[in-house]
Amino acid sequence: MATAAHLISSLPQLSPDVAKWVDSVRELTQPRAIHWCDGSDEEIRELTARLVREGELQTLNPDSFPGCHLSRSNPSDVARVEHLTYICTPNKEDAGPNNNWMDPAQAHTKMRDLFRGCMKDRTLYVVPYCMGPINSPLSRCGVEITDSPYVVINMSIMTRMGRPALERIAREGKFVRGLHSIGELDPERRFIMHFPHELSIESFGSGYGGNALLGKKCHALRIASWQARSEGWLAEHMLIVGLQNPQGETHYIACAFPSACGKTNLAMLIPPDSLPGWKVFTVGDDIAWLHPGADGRLWAINPESGYFGVVPGTNPETNRNAYDMIRRDTLFTNVAMTANNEPWWEGLTTGKPAVDWQGRPYDPARGPAAHPNSRFTVSAKRNPSYSHRSEDPQGVPISALVFGGRRREVAPLVYEARNWKHGVLVAASVASETTAANVGQTGVVRRDPMAMQPFCGYNFGDYWQHWLDVGAKLSKAPRIFHVNWFRRDAGGKFLWPGFGENLRVLDWVLRRCAGTVGANETAIGNLPVPADLNLQGLNVSADALQQLLAVEPGMWKKETAEIGKYLEQYGSRLPAEMTAQLQETARKLGA
Ligand code: OXD
Ligand code: MN
């Protein structure tokens, strides 16, 4: 077996810390072989071919879906598991009421017991990766050790994986350690542990995306948010998109929405025909690392290089870019299949399912054909609206930060915060109906501050203070907005068409940033004067518009009281500024 020591001669750029760590994991987990991933196309081709031979992956119709494969998860392992996800800080208070906490020593002992001997008869893969452009000072590296070849293939799409990352780690010395095993896929023996002080992650018992692709939620959000606090930047659950207006000017915005609220759709938005001259460029669809620049602006990179997107609902009307993008070189997880070996999911208007996501003959009595959280993994470069600025080592300057949730009532279509400090309160007050991206009940409203409830690696109280501190450093801070595409009327019907039409709201957002449009100042922030929204060619009635832009004082007094109650649980860690901002809103509401 290739030990790390004997690899040092063939990999002159190997960091001794990586070598030592891999050796200690080898001793603990007892793999049959070790594979150091170099990230080459040939490596991924061979791995894919092997999984097809072994029946782990299924080749989809090579004529209509060339280079596409299907993976089926264990039915008990199809979503993130927030109740089994822990932040292990020496001091419990540092993890905060927003996280499950375990003492680091206790967590390490528990995990060592699970990992001991778990890779017998398996190959241990060493996956070096870089989050962000390989030559960007804003990027950070990690190494994931895993026994799942499915994870390796995903990581090769989602990150800059392989030799250049290993070389960067050797130069920098610092890297995030992620140890992962699928174990026996037993939900009773499943834990996702984070040790922010050690920049390390230990994940056992799940092969599903957010639990197992450790570069994504575990590193780029939970560990990175901690790292960002100590280094003076922000790691956020945000898409990044460039909007070019008919005058030819491009502005970048970053938007945070809870899981499965349409971030991928917004990131790839197609301007409707009735808004000629607009172009949209995608920089990222899920995560943004935001750094204050020397020029007083906030600069963003997307640490990822691919998309791990929700499939159901994707069709030429909702997201033509994604629909086109996933027709080749895409790894599908838990979709259904037609008789013709094409992938199929709910929301497709063509074809019909023959086999469901579990590989059984499709029977509508058993529920949807594709799992509601079925996913595509695909390189960002396959996106027709891919922005070449995604590779810019400096990132892109951000004009506006947009937050939102899935709310049938209360939150209007759009409003602008009074200033950065009020914006931090607005963002901390985000609430949304839960979705299938996490195990648990769907459709109940929960607070999801900055859409980071499942992903912030430390106490939200400290996190909000950090947001206030970052804002204080920005002489040209982005403006902060809140949107709600999901507002419904009394009969439960959506009031706003959403999808491409959301550009009309973003147009107003950009005009606010440019200072070329006024607003209605209300108790909760600044709303559009209805005549200032470009609704040309759109069939939204005056009554619907009135409801979309209404601030109902009764509902908002109740909302403000609920926000206050939610924030109270952060006790002495809650910044006084947040209370002051909330009191200001309450005063304006006459509460
Ligand atoms: C995701 C999520 O997978 O937020 O992006 O759950
Ligand atoms: Mn996400």
pLDDT: is 541 or 13 the higher one?
A: 541
The number of the ligand nearest the C-alpha atom of 375 reads 1
pLDDT tens digits, one per residue of 98-130: 999 999 999 999 999 999 999 999 999 999 999
Q: What is the largest CA-CA distance in the chain?
A: 73
Name the percent of the chain lying above pLDDT 90. 94
d(CA 122, CA 33): 7
Distances (CA, A) of 306 to 254, 331, 453: 17, 11, 23
Query: Which stretch of 136-150, 356-370, 389-403, 437-451 has the lowest confidence by average pLDDT?
Result: 437-451
Domains and CATH numbers, the chain: 4-60+84-231 (3.40.449.10), 236-305+391-590 (3.90.228.20), 306-382 (2.170.8.10)
User: pLDDT averaged over the chain?
Assistant: 96
> 283, 389 in Cβ contact below 8 A?
yes
d(CA 98, CA 461): 9
> 329, 66 in Cβ contact below 8 A?
yes
What residues are labeled active site? 261
- Give the alpha-carbon dihedral of 348, 349, 351, 357, to 10 degrees: 30
d(CA 195, CA 560): 35
**pLDDT confidence band for 433 (50 / 70 / 90):** confident
> 96, 356 in Cβ contact below 8 A?
no
**pLDDT confidence band for 3 (50 / 70 / 90):** low
> Which residue among 259, 310, 378 is best mutated to probe the pocket of ligand 1, counting the most ligand atoms within 8 A of its Cβ?
259
What is the Å distance from ligand 1's center to 237 Cα?
Answer: 9
Residue 221 in tokens? 């959000």
Which residue in 555, 554, 578, 577 sits closest to 566, CA to CA? Answer: 578
Residue 341 in tokens? 């070996």
Stated length of the chain: 591
Q: Tally the C-alpha atoms within 13 A of residue 270's C-alpha that lie toward its C-beta.
A: 14
Q: What is the pLDDT averaged over residues 308-313?
A: 95
Give the chain's radius of gyration (CA, Å).
Answer: 24
Taking the mean position of all CA atoms in its chain, how far away is CA 378? 15
What is the Å distance from ligand 1's center to 218 Cα?
Answer: 11
pTM of the predicted structure, to 2 decimals: 0.96
d(CA 129, CA 216): 11
* Tally of helices (H runs) and strands (E runs) in the chain: 17, 29
- For ligand 1, whether the C-beta of 245 sits within 6 Å is no
- For the cut 70, the answer to whether the pLDDT of residue 432 exceeds it is yes
The number of the ligand nearest the C-alpha atom of 311 reads 1
- For ligand 1, whether the C-beta of 574 sits within 6 Å is no
- For ligand 1, whether the C-beta of 311 sits within 6 Å is no
Q: Which pLDDT score, from 0 to 100, does residue 451 have?
A: 97
> 426, 482 in Cβ contact below 8 A?
yes
256 Cβ contact list (under 8 Å, min separation 6):
236, 237, 238, 401, 402, 403, 404, 427, 430, 450, 451, 452
Q: Is 299 helix (H, G, I), strand (E, B) or coil?
A: strand
Query: Which stretch of 258-262, 360-364, 503-507 has the lowest confidence by average pLDDT?
Result: 258-262
> 330, 377 in Cβ contact below 8 A?
yes
- For ligand 1, whether the C-beta of 210 sits within 6 Å is yes
**pLDDT confidence band for 194 (50 / 70 / 90):** very high
Q: What is the pLDDT averaged over residues 239-256?
A: 98
Q: Return the residue whose CA atom lies nearest to atom 1 of ligand 1.
A: 259
What is the Å distance from ligand 2's center to 390 Cα?
Answer: 18
- For ligand 1, whether the C-beta of 262 sits within 6 Å is no
d(CA 26, CA 34): 8
Taking the mean position of all CA atoms in its chain, how far away is CA 431? 17
Distances (CA, A) of 294 to 291, 299, 389, 394: 10, 10, 19, 11
pLDDT tens digits, one per residue of 501-520: 999 999 999 999 999 999 99
What is the Å distance from ligand 1's center to 398 Cα?
Answer: 22
